[in-house]
Amino acid sequence: MFSERTNWKLARNRFTQALEEVRAGGARVLDLTVSNPTRAGLRYDEAAILRALASPRTLDYDPQSKGLLAAREAVAGYYRDRSGRGGRDVAGNVASQGMSDGIVVDPERIVLTTSTSEGYSFVFRLLCNAGDELLVPKPSYPLFEFLADLQDVRLVPYPLIYDHGWQMDFPSLERVVTERTRGVVVVHPNNPTGSFVSEGEVDSLNAFCGEHGLAVIADEVFLDYGLDVDPDTGNGRVGTAALGRPVERRSTAQMLQKSSPQGLKPASSVAPDGTAEAVPFPKPIRETSLRNRRSFVGNEAVLTFTLSGLSKIAALPQMKVAWMVTSGPGELAGEAMGRLEVIADTYLSMNAPIQWAMPALLEQRKEIQRQLLERVRGNLAELDRQLAGQKACSRLEVDGGWYAVLRVPVTRSDEELAIELVREKAVVVHPGHFYDFPGDGYLVLSLITAEDDFRDGMGRVFAFLNS
């Protein structure tokens, strides 16, 4: 009696079962997959947040399909502030008065939603009929599958290739595009690879979408977490530049070569003496300047929907605040906004207290991002310190976000390895297949884990892998 679109496998997987069993046995488990910032030991301005939610204006019901103007103006101000700190948009759009005045984002091009998931559902409904296709990156976050199922949309993956950093594979995009393709999803920076869409890739993406009549859907929830940018000034900095570290720099093709007779795929650079080589902070082939950190909100070359929200920007996922910004050729973007407004008006999902609080909640990002970037950089430095003291593992390049990808010897499947780490070392990591990595040999780590837990947890992981 149920729809085919909800015919998911709902049974717990073996990894989840193992974790529940170990926790039930009373063991203290070190969780290196933490994604909830409200439980990561951060210091919030509780008084300011609660005060923002107590406005008397919340007693008035003023349904506006795109969201209250004051809230949308706060979002526009966020982009203006980013530009003033050096984070210009992908088209370099800056107000004519000068860079300090920031990007001009029209509040009328902003639609508020309760989550980026809801934003995706609005855009999927706008662009796609049942059975139409969207091109999505692989590896990436697994949420897309469920969103597409609910909207009767077919997802077609395109690979991100690792070669001195992650890159979009445009020949693959050309091979998979069909008459039913409606858009290309990019995650900027990607979760979990931490790779930004470079300036050159933006140009190629716009050319590809323009040729095939496609829209760009840009997920920017981690945009403010570039690891080479100071959150206060927007100036470049590199928190781990002084460290020598074994960073995996080979291409994806090399990673997938046949295993050695011992069943191990090499996972780090090897020095002549046979030890893991500590490579200096690499200078990847792909662009890594501040220009990569631009937002897609000013992308006017093709129809573009940019999604973000407070969940990551201000580390406030419980507030359920997100938005999408529409840009592109004027007439086309205008028609898209007209249709989106009807979709949003059908649900009116955003509540008044949160909308009135948005200026104050957005203000919280300045301090919380400082804490998170300090945590992420510190844990990345700790990871590199421990990597330098062992031979079996390395990590992949990461430019931004909250995660790191560890390369490990392939002696078993990633799932089997993650289960063994839970059972034998009481430490939780995510196997790479959760994110559709191209093979085994990948573990995903959260860099917002409490520092002591991260240090001790990685010690357990490396002790197991090097035993």
Please report, rounded to a whole number, the percentage of residues in the chain having pLDDT higher than 70. 82
CA distance 78 to 321: 14
CA distance 164 to 243: 18
More confident residue, 430 or 252: 430
CA distance 105 to 95: 10
Q: Give tens-digit pLDDT for 428-463.
A: 999 999 999 999 999 999 999 999 999 999 999 999
Note whether 140 and 435 are within 8 A (CB).
yes
Q: Give pLDDT, residue 231.
A: 53
DSSP per-residue codes, 56-117: GGGGS----TT--HHHHHHHHHHHHHHHHTT---TT----TT-GGG-----GGGEEEES-HH
Name the phi and psi angles at 404, rounded to 5.
-130, 150
Domain ranges of the chain: 11-35+235-283+368-465, 56-223+295-363
CATH 3.30.830.10 for domain 56-223+295-363, yes or no, is no
Task: With a cut of 70, say whether residue 100 has pLDDT above it.
Answer: no
Task: With a cut of 50, say whether residue 306 has pLDDT above it.
Answer: yes
Residue 161: strand, helix, or coil: strand
DSSP per-residue codes, 185-206: EEESS-TTT-PPPPHHHHHHHH
β-partners of residue 322 are 113, 309
Beta strands in 180-269 (DSSP E): 181-187, 215-219, 247-248
Note whether 125 and 343 are within 8 A (CB).
yes
pLDDT band at 292 (very low <50, low <70, confident <90, very high): low
Task: With a cut of 70, say whether residue 236 has pLDDT above it.
Answer: no
Q: Give tens-digit pLDDT for 205-227.
A: 999 999 999 999 999 999 999 99
pLDDT band at 233 (very low <50, low <70, confident <90, very high): low
Q: Six-digit token pair at 259?
A: 């295993």
What is the chain's alpha carbon radius of gyration, rounded to the nearest angstrom? 22
Task: With a cut of 60, say whether residue 464 has pLDDT above it.
Answer: yes
Q: Give pLDDT, residue 239.
A: 39
Summary mean pLDDT of the chain: 86
Task: With a cut of 60, say whether residue 106 has pLDDT above it.
Answer: yes
Q: How many residues does the chain have?
A: 467
Task: With a cut of 90, say whether residue 78 has pLDDT above it.
Answer: yes
The CATH architecture to which 11-35+235-283+368-465 belongs is Alpha-Beta Complex (3.90)
pLDDT band at 288 (very low <50, low <70, confident <90, very high): very low
